[in-house]
A and B are shown apart, each in its own frame.
Chain A
Amino acid sequence: MKILQKIGVLLTIVGLVIFTVTPFLGSYQLDEATTIAATKDIHNEAMVEVLRPMFGKLYTSNFAFISSFKDYFNSYNETLKSNQEWDKVIWDDYSFSITKASSIGPVKEHPLIFLSLSIGLTILGGLLYILPLYRGVPDGIKNDGIFFSSMMARGWLGMITGAYLILFYILLYWFPEYLTNLVLMVDPISIFLSGGPASQWFLYGFIYSFAIVVMGLRMFRKYKGNNYQLIRTTSVMFFQLSFAFILPEILVLFNKPWHDFKNIWPLDYSFFYEYRLDGMINSGALGMFMLIFGILLIVIGVPLFTYFYGKRWYCSWVCGCGGLAETLGDPYRQLSDKSVKSWQIERYLIHGVLVFAVVMTGLTITNYFMGFELLGQATDQLHSIYGFAIGSIFAGVVGTGFYPFMGNRVWCRFGCPLAAYLGLVQRFKSRFRITTNGGQCISCGNCSTYCEMGIDVRWYAQRGQNIVRSSCVGCGVCSAVCPRGVLKLENGDEEGRINDMPIIIGNDSVKAKL
């Protein structure tokens, strides 16, 4: 390792440490004006009364502040609930906005300095480490030492990384009030882009996008010489930065709803929720475009593109979840389980989620048009169950947090309802397949090992059989790591695409059906 790379690793560690301690810096003080600013008009009066005992008090940690806030707030609500005064109960969660508004101290004063020292240093260190990788080494993929690596082969470094990611997701989804300093850090960026202050989701989007870009550059180094990988990686970097990160913020700047044009239902499970539909319908021509474009993608875009190119056009070229998996997650692709058992679990789970999403959305739309007379609160219940179990735990905590344990496509493989939909089209009506090259397979196992979707590619390759699997996201790595040039991702005639009784070329004595 070159000196520069060592410095890079050091800077990354320093940046991560600063990122980790930043939430605990500074102190917190609340006053009446802040309370009014941070709450809805209808709650102003009540919240001022509830929180009055906190006004003017200096809290030296966010723990103390948040615990005090929760004491007052909860006891207020509890009293109302026990008196059956349901209409007065405050259902909104103000802990994040109040805590963020009450923060005083270095991060609030100098957000950009903290941003540079935490995320900035991490990125800089990452680049110093990544850019010199494989310099002066001939083109070709080097998976050297992956299974000796603590980080990449479920060693202690991998365990720590996974635990850290899981903890971050739990805080982000359910306890964002503890991350307010980190959100304050990116406030100036958010104000620059959309004119408004940052939420925890802006922070998340910011980190997410940089993770894809920096680790995308790593892909350029690692897969240099392989144009398919380079172009595909450029594509996910582009879609994340523009469609998922910057464009939605600009929409907000122009008072339009936050909208990611490349996110497709049912991955975008809230697309048909009342607030989204109303948001689009009430946003003029652009809003109507959002609605129509979104529906066209679902009914025409997905089947058409998948017919021509397989689901890869979305999963490993466009999608944000796929983008993160293919960049940040690439070092963990070899950890996916290849057993038949996990394939069975995969099929039950992913199609189960698809059914759940379809039923939920069907009810939601029915309800929408019936003015919520029929099922009323039932859809809200469903939404919150789906949001919690699928949207947050499955897609976030497990989806990313489990990279170092179960590989980089846990969500895409076992959970994503859009992947299930794309997969059905890919399996039954598509020109895409992975072709195997005659009798050249030596059963070495590189293809299966590095398949992030857990497909036992070798099983097909050694039989001379095309690989037509609904889960294949077409990342192209099986083909890239094959030492004998046996695998090729192709779009071609549907005839002969699925060859269940393949014949291996080379033996004229018998036609061995496999």
Chain B
Amino acid sequence: MEASNQIVIVGNGISGVTCARHIRKVDSQVKITIVSGETDYFFSRTALMYIYMGHMKYEHTKPYADDFWSKNRIDLKSGWVKQVDFDLKSLSFENGEKLSYDRLILATGSKPNKFGWPGQDLLGVQGLYSMQDLNSMEKRTSAITRAVIVGGGLIGVEMAEMFATRKIPVTFLVRGKCFWDNVLPPEEAQLVARHIKEHHIDLRLSTELSEILDDGNGEVKAVKTSTGEIIPCEFVGLTAGVSPNIDFLKNSGLKTNRGIVVNKKFQTNIPEVYSIGDCVEFTEAPGPDRKNIEQVWYTGRMHGETLAYNLTHDNQVDYKPGIWFNSAKFFDIEYQTYGFLPTSWGEDKWSFYWEDDKGKMAIRLLFDAEDRILATNVFGWRMRHEFFDTAIKEGWKADRLMKQLREASFNPEFYKDYHMEVVNKYNQEKGRDVQLSKKSIFQKIFGYNS
């Protein structure tokens, strides 16, 4: 079948690259081309911050060696796509080149949100998503006296950490009453806020950006906040979320809303055109607690895996993500979550929350009325993905989960074991009687579990 022998993927992020790799594993013949204007090679977007902080160089963020692509006969094409002609099945690039495809996969990612703030297009105002963003951030922040970050999400806190390592003072404007309080329940949000302040970040809660002031040369000189305060700064980081990067596809015949509209098989309204990753908007949310737009590393990877399967198999499957999980790091505190844990819940659910006495480690467990585990948030305590995936899928009861919690711990050896402390609080607070069996010396020394 000559017609289906050229797959072109626009975007070399985790979704596009995963898709390409999985197609190649099954089909050694099909011609695969990945297009990107951002970088010649796939790199880990989540590692951008580490380049700025000097933990790594760009080359360290590349998950595959440069010869991996030619070995796997995945062609890499450098350039920005300007337009897609879906009738002629052809891409045109900004430099005038053209590339035709038989099947097209759009994995164009997202771009930082701008909410129409006055001055949002001044020099020194930007988000942090792409390699280009990182380069301009590097250029713009070499000799500044203060940076202001707008929007309290994961990229915002990353940016704050980046500046902190370079001793650049940071003011961090967050709209919510607490940090990331549209995702975290209050105790967790406070834990994170405390830690951010511990790193000498000037965290301003319940504060919004009103306008960014021009120094007369088109560069930022200060921001004005919702309280009327003017904060002088030379850099403004916009980190109030991201939205699908689809501007070049508007009015092209491809159905878009906030993102490229796809069904559960990642098919768009145009045959042989698919879309995966951050830029996708599902017609129907892929799961009960899931959103129509998923913009996380892991979901991008799963989109890629699933579409690759469908493109190489006769039996087509729907995208069906398993138990939700995510993770992040707030300066020194790692965060993991398994299952969907909302910011608040009604009478039909109950939660148990434990925090260590330093206030840097915490676990929240959410149960339904029948005591079945629904979700967890953990801070400063690594947990086994498999443990919670199984426990949530099988609906383990609270007492059983508490008893077996030690097995879930994924902390390095010799870390303090908080199991007993957590269970004691649980027994006391919930009137339960979970008894723990002690590990024998033999088990401790030789690491045998049974």
Asked whether B447 lies within 8 Å of A227 as measured between CB atoms, the reply is no
A33 proximal to B (CB < 8 A): no
Question: Provided the pairs A147-B56, A444-B44, A509-B302 are in contact, do residues A485 and B410 lie with their beta carbons within 8 angstroms?
Answer: yes
A283 proximal to B (CB < 8 A): no
B414 proximal to A (CB < 8 A): yes
Contact with A along B54-65 (1 / 0, CB 8 A): 111100111101
Among the listed A431, A445, A489, which residue makes an inter-chain contact with B63, where contact means beta carbons less than 8 Å apart? Answer: A445
Among the listed B165, B322, B332, B385, which residue makes an inter-chain contact with A440, where contact means beta carbons less than 8 Å apart? Answer: B385
A506 proximal to B (CB < 8 A): yes
Among the listed B199, B334, B389, B412, which residue makes an inter-chain contact with A226, where contact means beta carbons less than 8 Å apart? Answer: B412
Asked whether B325 lies within 8 Å of A439 as measured between CB atoms, the reply is yes
**Residue numbers in B under 8 Å from A226 (CB-CB):** 412
Among the listed B44, B321, B385, B415, which residue makes an inter-chain contact with A442, where contact means beta carbons less than 8 Å apart? Answer: B44
**Residue numbers in A under 8 Å from B447 (CB-CB):** 308, 431, 490-492
Count, chain B residues at interface, CB 8 A: 59
**Residue numbers in A under 8 Å from B111 (CB-CB):** none
Asked whether B165 lies within 8 Å of A506 as measured between CB atoms, the reply is no
Asked whether A488 lies within 8 Å of B382 as measured between CB atoms, the reply is yes
Among the listed B56, B198, B199, B389, which residue makes an inter-chain contact with A505, where contact means beta carbons less than 8 Å apart? Answer: B389
**CA distance in complex: A138, B360 (Å):** 10
**CA distance in complex: A340, B71 (Å):** 13
**Residue numbers in A under 8 Å from B383 (CB-CB):** 485
Asked whether B55 lies within 8 Å of A446 as measured between CB atoms, the reply is yes
Among the listed A144, A431, A445, which residue makes an inter-chain contact with B44, where contact means beta carbons less than 8 Å apart? Answer: A445
Asked whether B389 lies within 8 Å of A443 as measured between CB atoms, the reply is no
**CA distance in complex: A154, B332 (Å):** 28
Q: Which listed segment binds B: A164-172, A465-473, A475-483?
A: A475-483
Asked whether B57 lies within 8 Å of A147 as measured between CB atoms, the reply is yes
**CA distance in complex: A480, B321 (Å):** 29
**Residue numbers in A under 8 Å from B61 (CB-CB):** 444-445
Asked whether B331 lies within 8 Å of A140 as measured between CB atoms, the reply is yes
Asked whether B446 lies within 8 Å of A512 as measured between CB atoms, the reply is no
A288 to chain B: closest CB distance in Å?
30
B157 to chain A: closest CB distance in Å?
12
Question: Provided the pairs A442-B46, A444-B46 are in contact, do residues A508 and B320 lie with their beta carbons within 8 angstroms?
Answer: yes
**Residue numbers in B under 8 Å from A143 (CB-CB):** 53-55
Asked whether A149 lies within 8 Å of B54 as measured between CB atoms, the reply is yes
Asked whether B334 lies within 8 Å of A483 as measured between CB atoms, the reply is yes
Asked whether A138 lies within 8 Å of B198 as measured between CB atoms, the reply is yes
B260 to chain A: closest CB distance in Å?
19
Question: Provided the pairs A476-B412, A510-B305 are in contact, do residues A449 and B60 lie with their beta carbons within 8 angstroms?
Answer: yes
**Residue numbers in A under 8 Å from B14 (CB-CB):** 443
A438 proximal to B (CB < 8 A): yes
**CA distance in complex: A81, B65 (Å):** 58
B131 proximal to A (CB < 8 A): no
**Residue numbers in B under 8 Å from A489 (CB-CB):** 412-413
**Residue numbers in B under 8 Å from A476 (CB-CB):** 412-413
* A476, A490, A492, A505 interface centre (most CB from chain B within 10 Å): A505
**Residue numbers in A under 8 Å from B165 (CB-CB):** 142, 144-145
**CA distance in complex: A318, B11 (Å):** 49
* B55, B165, B332, B336 interface centre (most CB from chain A within 10 Å): B55
**CA distance in complex: A480, B55 (Å):** 14
Asked whether A438 lies within 8 Å of B325 as measured between CB atoms, the reply is yes
**Residue numbers in B under 8 Å from A82 (CB-CB):** none
User: Who on chain A is nearest to B338 by CB?
Assistant: A438
B135 to chain A: closest CB distance in Å?
16
**CA distance in complex: A443, B386 (Å):** 19
Question: Provided the pairs A437-B385, A480-B412, A491-B446 are in contact, do residues A444 and B322 lie with their beta carbons within 8 angstroms?
Answer: no
- Known pairs A144-B55, A146-B54, A449-B56. 5 more at Cβ < 8 A? A438-B386, A440-B336, A489-B412, A492-B449, A512-B22
Closest 8 CB pairs of A and B: A438-B385, A140-B332, A485-B382, A491-B447, A227-B414, A444-B47, A145-B54, A507-B302
